[in-house]
Structure 1
Amino acid sequence: MKAINSVVVASAIVSAISGVPARAYEEGPVPQGGTIQGKVIFNGEVQTRKIIPNKDLDVCDGPREEPLIDVGPDKGVENAVVYLAQVAKGKAWPAQAGQAKTPELVNHNCRFEPKVQVIRAGPLVVVNSDPMLHNTHGYYGKRTAFNMALPNQGQRIPTELTRAGTVRIDCDAHGWMEGWIYVVDNPYYAIAGADGKFSITDVPPGNYTLVAIQSLTGPVQQSVTVAAGKPTELTIELMKQ
């Protein structure tokens, strides 16, 4: 496996830093599809950041240390995103299969929920469940993807993320809040569970570039070959940049 910088991976996954228009993906049957499954691990020191909320203390969680990477006792990385780059044709998107609704990003107790998500390029709804102002701000690299004030509890504002890439989310009113949305151009992705394990199903047989990414470590990539009707087992080690 080869560690690479964000700019290189960005071109592999359709410009994850600056974002480019999502290219067309063709849905179709996948006879004898294979499965990519395995585990994302991290063997380095788990660093933390100290969070000291300085406003809205009746709603926001108190002072705390938060890990910059969530690593279990067996080194599995929770919320790492695993993704196949540049797949032109394959299985249906989850929404078309009736398995998903419009994705949401919720401001709740001065946190983003979910903290990490993967979505298809397209609509997103930003929600404020807290009884005070949040100003939710999303960025492709340094370029604003959306910037919206939500002063009212229960407020919902639709937006669009039309470009594939990595979108970092923060709140201009509560500077410690941070989340990540990975916008993809094909449905071959997974988010690792608490044990670091993941599975990507119904992959057309062939050779692929697999990308794994987490906000602290950045991305890594490796080549993977999928055989018809068979599982491919991988262990992916993330490295701090």
Structure 2
Amino acid sequence: MFATAFVASALFAHRAQAYEEVIVSGGGTLTGKVVFNGDVPTKMVIPTKDPAVCGGIRNVPTIAVGADKGVKNAVAYLKVVESGKAWGKEWMQSMEAPVLDQVKCEFAPYVQIIRPGTLNILNSDPLLHNTHGFYGRRTAFNLAMPNKGDSNRADLKRPGLVRIECDAHGWMLAWVHVADSPYYAVTGEDGMFTINDIPPGEYTLVIWQDTERTIEQKVVVKTGEKLEMSIELN
């Protein structure tokens, strides 16, 4: 089954209703692979300052594609799930909160999914970063981090897509998906993702890639079913 409908979206403020945790009986599993066919597009990165830390001019791919055409850092999620499985421990990257670091003038990780709450932001570079997060065009946080080892916290309590930039280094970019349910996953090096414990029913599967375009595909999950999908980006 292949998704073909392309939908442009700002992907913020998915919904205001709170997600309800319930016991899921006979939940299904959705496994998929996101692939890219064709020539991988690239962009030129031209550091305008701090070359000793940030490096020089370089050409980088705009999509991370592996040898088997799998797309890394695509996000798969079920749209508008009002109730289902509990948020699990996998939603915590540390004992405190998820982390976004700044290393050699790049954000790490480039894409992540977090539960609504706090994002820890670190500066591992010996120079000033001004870390600026946006819900759409609206500022979510704006943090000056002048020293190596600096840390700060950003409150991201509203579900939606947060674009993160550095005002001091214009090429830096990261994406944080603040999830409105646990039914989210990010693809690995092989382009694979798995979403499990899905209550039986009909859903809209959304595939996001950092070009800010999405693919939407209707899926029907039956009791105990294991669905497999391949989603192609062109």
- Taking structure 1 as the reference length, the TM-score comes to 0.89
The residue aligned with 2:39 is: 45
Among 96, 101, 106, the residue aligned to 2:101? 106
Q: Deviation at 1:166?
A: 1.3
Give the deviation of 1:21 after TM superposition: 6.3
Residues 211 and 220 in structure 1, CA contact (< 8 A), matched pair in contact too = yes
| CA pair 190-96 structure 1, distance change in 2 beyond 3 A | closer
- Whole-angstrom distance in 2 between the partners of 1:217 and 1:45: 19
Structure 1 SS opposite 2:189: coil
Change (3 A) 1:57 1:48: same
SS of structure 1 residue aligned to 2:164: strand
Is the contact between residue 30 and residue 90 of structure 1 (CA under 8 Å) also seen in structure 2?
yes
1:71-86 to structure 2, matched below 5 A, reads 71-86=65-80
How many residue pairs end up in the alignment? 231
TM-fit CA distance, 1:98: 7.1
- Contact 1:38/1:197 (CA < 8 Å) preserved in 2? yes
* Bigger Cα displacement from structure 2, 130-139 vs 50-59: 50-59
Offset at residue 170 of structure 1 (A): 0.8
Match of 1:3 among 5, 8, 12: 5
Give the superposition deviation at 1:200: 0.7
Quote the Cα distance in structure 1 between the aligned partners of 2:188 and 2:115. Answer: 20
Q: CA separation in 2, counterparts of 1:98 and 1:171?
A: 25
User: Percent identity at matched positions?
Assistant: 52
> Quick check: 1:22–1:162 contact (8 Å CA) kept in 2?
no
Q: What does 1:39-188 correspond to in 2, within 5 Å?
A: 39-95=33-89, 101=95, 102-188=97-183
Deviations 1:50-104 (CA, angstroms, capped at 9, x unpaired): 1122322222233221111111222211110000011111111124987754111
Residue type matched to 2:229 in 1?
A: L
TM-score, normalising length: structure 2: 0.91
List alignment gaps of at least 5 residues for structure 2: none
What RMSD, in angstroms, separates the aligned Cα atoms of the two structures? 1.9
More displaced 10-residue stretch of structure 1: 153-162 or 56-65: 56-65
